[in-house]
Chains A and B, each alone.
Chain A
Amino acid sequence: MALLSEFIGAPRRRNGSFRRYLGLAVTVGVCCTGFAAAISDKLPENRVKAAFLYNFAHFVEWPAEAGAAAGSLIIAVLRDDDFVDEVARTVADKTVAGRRVEVRAIADVADVGASHMVFVGEDAAAEVDAILAALADRHVLTVSDVEGFVVRGGVIGLYKSENKLRFRINMAAARHAGLAISSKLLRLAEIVDGPVAGGRR
Chain B
Amino acid sequence: MYRYLGENALSRISRSILVAGLLLALPAAALSNDVEDLTLLSLEEIMDIEITSVSRSEEPWFEAAAAVFVITAEDIRRSGATQIPDVLRMVPGLQVAQATSSTWAVSARGFNGTFANKLLVLIDGRSVYTPLFSGVFWDVQDVLLEDIERIEVIRGPGGTLWGANAVNGVINIITKNAADTQGALIMGGGGNVDRGFGGARWGGAVGETLHYRGYVKYFDRDGLGDVAGRDPHDQWDMLRGGFRADWTPTENDFVKVQGDIYQGDVGSNNDVALPIEPFRDMLLESVRVSGGNLLGSWHRHISQSASASVQVYYDRTARDSFVLREDRDTFDIDMQHQFGVGSRQNFTWGLGYRLTSDDMRDSFGARFQPLSRNFQLFSGFLQDQIALTDELRLTIGTKIEHNDFTGIEVQPSGRLQWKPHPDHVLWGAVSRAVRTPSRAERDAVLTSFVTVDEFSAFLRGQGNDNFKAEDVLAYEAGYRVRPAHRLSFDLAIFYNDYEDLASLPFGEPFVDESFDPAQFVVPVLTSNIGSASAYGVEIAAEWRPVDRWRLAGGYTWLDLDIDAGAVNAVPFSSTGESASHQVNARSYLELPWSLEFDTSVYYVDDLPAFDISDYVRLDLRLGWHATDRLELAVVGQNVTDGSHREFGSSITGTAAGAVQRSIYGKLTWRY
Q: Is the CB of A48 within 8 A of B51?
A: yes
**Cα(A69)–Cα(B513), bound, Å:** 105
Which DSSP category, helix, strand, loop or mixed, fits chain B's interface? mixed
A54 to chain B, nearest CB (A): 5
**Cα(A42)–Cα(B590), bound, Å:** 9
**Cα(A33)–Cα(B55), bound, Å:** 23
B279 at the binding interface (Cβ < 8 Å):
no
Q: Is the CB of B51 within 8 A of A44?
A: yes
**Cα(A168)–Cα(B549), bound, Å:** 31
Assuming the contacts A38-B33, A38-B548, A42-B52, asked whether A32 and B616 have C-beta atoms less than 8 A apart, the reply is no
User: Which of B18, B28, B39, B613 touches A90 (beta carbons < 8 Å)?
Assistant: B39
> Across the interface, which residues of A come within 8 angstroms of B597, CB to CB?
32
**Cα(A123)–Cα(B55), bound, Å:** 11
Q: Is the CB of A44 within 8 A of B53?
A: yes
**Considering only CB atoms, which chain A residue lies closest to B601 in the complex?**
A25
B48 at the binding interface (Cβ < 8 Å):
yes
Q: Is the CB of A166 within 8 A of B47?
A: yes
B591 at the binding interface (Cβ < 8 Å):
yes
B254 to chain A, nearest CB (A): 13
B21 at the binding interface (Cβ < 8 Å):
yes
> Across the interface, which residues of A come within 8 angstroms of B614, CB to CB?
2, 6-7
Q: Is the CB of A21 within 8 A of B21?
A: no
**Cα(A37)–Cα(B589), bound, Å:** 10
> Across the interface, which residues of A come within 8 angstroms of B355, CB to CB?
none
> Across the interface, which residues of A come within 8 angstroms of B583, CB to CB?
4, 7
Q: Is the CB of B591 within 8 A of A40?
A: yes
A27 at the binding interface (Cβ < 8 Å):
yes
Which DSSP category, helix, strand, loop or mixed, fits chain A's interface? helix
Q: Is the CB of A45 within 8 A of B53?
A: yes
**Cα(A162)–Cα(B22), bound, Å:** 33
**Considering only CB atoms, which chain A residue lies closest to B606 in the complex?**
A2
B454 at the binding interface (Cβ < 8 Å):
no
> Across the interface, which residues of B come within 8 angstroms of A33, CB to CB?
545, 549
Residues from 25 to 50 in A contacting B, C-beta threshold 8 Å: 25, 27-29, 31-45, 47-48, 50
State which of B2-10, B137-145, B431-439 sits at the interface with chain A.
B2-10
Q: Is the CB of B39 within 8 A of A51?
A: yes
Residues from 600 to 644 in B contacting A, C-beta threshold 8 Å: 601, 603, 605-606, 608, 613-614, 616, 625, 640
State which of A12-20, A60-68, A134-142 sits at the interface with chain B.
A12-20
Q: Is the CB of B53 within 8 A of A21?
A: no
Q: Is the CB of B53 within 8 A of A160?
A: yes
Q: Is the CB of A48 within 8 A of B49?
A: yes
Q: Is the CB of A21 within 8 A of B10?
A: yes
**Considering only CB atoms, which chain B residue lies closest to A47 in the complex?**
B38
Instruction: Annotate B14-33 by CB proximity to A: 1 below 8 A, 0 otherwise.
Output: 10011001100100110111
Q: Is the CB of B49 within 8 A of A35?
A: no
**Cα(A185)–Cα(B614), bound, Å:** 60
A110 at the binding interface (Cβ < 8 Å):
no
> Across the interface, which residues of B come within 8 angstroms of A111, CB to CB?
none
Residues from 566 to 609 in B contacting A, C-beta threshold 8 Å: 580-581, 583, 587, 589-592, 594, 597, 599, 601, 603, 605-606, 608
B393 to chain A, nearest CB (A): 13
A102 at the binding interface (Cβ < 8 Å):
no
**Cα(A152)–Cα(B301), bound, Å:** 13
Q: Is the CB of B57 within 8 A of A41?
A: no
User: Which of A7, A25, A38, A188 touches B591 (beta carbons < 8 Å)?
Assistant: A38
> Across the interface, which residues of A come within 8 angstroms of B2, CB to CB?
14-15, 17-18
A126 to chain B, nearest CB (A): 10
B389 at the binding interface (Cβ < 8 Å):
no
Assuming the contacts A32-B21, A161-B180, asked whether A37 and B546 have C-beta atoms less than 8 A apart, the reply is yes
The 5 closest A-B pairs by CB, nearest first: A35-B28, A51-B38, A45-B53, A36-B549, A2-B614
Known A43-B50, A45-B54, A165-B46; 10 more pairs at CB < 8 Å: A1-B606, A28-B18, A28-B21, A37-B546, A39-B32, A42-B50, A54-B39, A55-B46, A122-B56, A164-B50
Which residues of A come within 8 Å of B, CB atoms? 1-4, 6-7, 14-15, 17-18, 20-21, 24-25, 27-29, 31-45, 47-48, 50-52, 54-55, 59, 82, 90-91, 94, 122-123, 125, 129, 145-147, 151-152, 160-166, 184-185, 188
- In the assembled complex, 19 residue pairs joining A and B whose CB atoms fall closer than 8 Å, in A order, are A2-B606, A2-B614, A14-B3, A17-B10, A21-B14, A24-B17, A27-B18, A33-B549, A34-B29, A36-B545, A39-B32, A42-B51, A42-B52, A43-B51, A51-B38, A55-B43, A55-B46, A165-B49, A184-B43
